[in-house]
Copies of this chain bind each other. A is one copy, B any other.
Amino acid sequence: MDTLAATACVLIIGNEILSGKTQDANLQFLGAELADKGITLVEARVVRDDKAAIVAAVNECRAAYTYVFTTGGIGPTHDDITAECIAAAFGRDIVLHEEAVQRLRRRGLELNAARLKMAHVPEGASLIDNPLSGAPGFRMENVFVMAGIPAVARGMFSTLDEELSGGAPIHSRNVDVYLPEGELAAPLETIVHKYPQVEIGSYPFFRERRYGANLVVRGTDADLVDSVLKEIIATMTKLGAETA
């Protein structure tokens, strides 16, 4: 972990994810996108719409990681409290952002108090474009505040290319091995110790009445990732396992 070029934490804000009402659909997407940029997603947290909890999590994570990405809680209703929490975490006032007002105005809707709430950001924040519906997210230092609706979160994240700098992209290769994990564990561990530069994971499955595991090799050196995968396949084949 000490050689990571850039690290990140995702903070998912919203009671609906914890109550079981809603399946989160942002974490997997962000994890994959960040890996492509050479940024390692080290942690994710899901917190309730609770000011003290959000402020504490933001302050802990922004100190620990290169980037923090939040999703959720930036709409116009009473339970959208992310902006005021980020302001509190940074000890800033929350202010009306003129450019955000203009963007909301362009949608042609009446700018009532609820909608104007969406144009309030912590003092000093810059806007994150919302290609889908106008209402922007915002960036405060290393904290990127995005919508919870997956399509909008993806749209916002897609605009951040130039603001994020990672290391070499993290390459990933995997193979299904039809051998119970209990049998492939020992030979796999030999390979794990031989190549500390890559990360190797084993994810068991039971499919068509057969036990197996999806073995994953990840690392920044694509050639090494390929050759380690080949060595894994050769080793497992020697043990009599079918691979796919």
Contacts and interface: CB of A to CB of B under 8 A. Distances in A.
A186 B33 CA distance: 37
Given A50-B1, A79-B201, A185-B114, A20 B33 contact: yes
Contact of A77 (B75, B185, B218): B185
Given A24-B27, A45-B43, A202-B77, A35 B50 contact: no
Contact of A186 (B24, B49, B113, B216): B113
Interface residues of A, number: 70
Interface stretch (A10-18, A85-93, A220-228, A235-243): A10-18
Contacts of A181: 75-77, 114
Contacts of A44: 17-18, 45-46
Interface in A166-225: 170, 172, 174, 180-186, 188-189, 192, 199-204, 206, 213, 216, 218
A64 to B, nearest CB: 10
B27 A41 contact: no
Interface string A71-82: 000011111000
A185 to B, nearest CB: 3
A234 interface: no
A74 to B, nearest CB: 11
B180 A109 contact: yes
A19 B76 CA distance: 32
A164 interface: no
A26 to B, nearest CB: 11
Copies in the complex: 2
A3 interface: no
B18 A202 contact: no
Given A24-B27, A114-B182, A43 B53 contact: yes
A15 B19 CA distance: 24
B43 A46 contact: yes
B45 A172 contact: no
Contacts of A213: 77
A5 interface: no
15 contacts: A18-B42, A20-B41, A21-B172, A23-B28, A24-B24, A27-B46, A43-B46, A43-B53, A75-B181, A77-B213, A79-B201, A114-B181, A114-B185, A133-B206, A149-B204
Question: Which 4 A/B pairs are nearest by Cβ-Cβ distance?
Answer: A20-B32, A114-B185, A20-B31, A77-B202
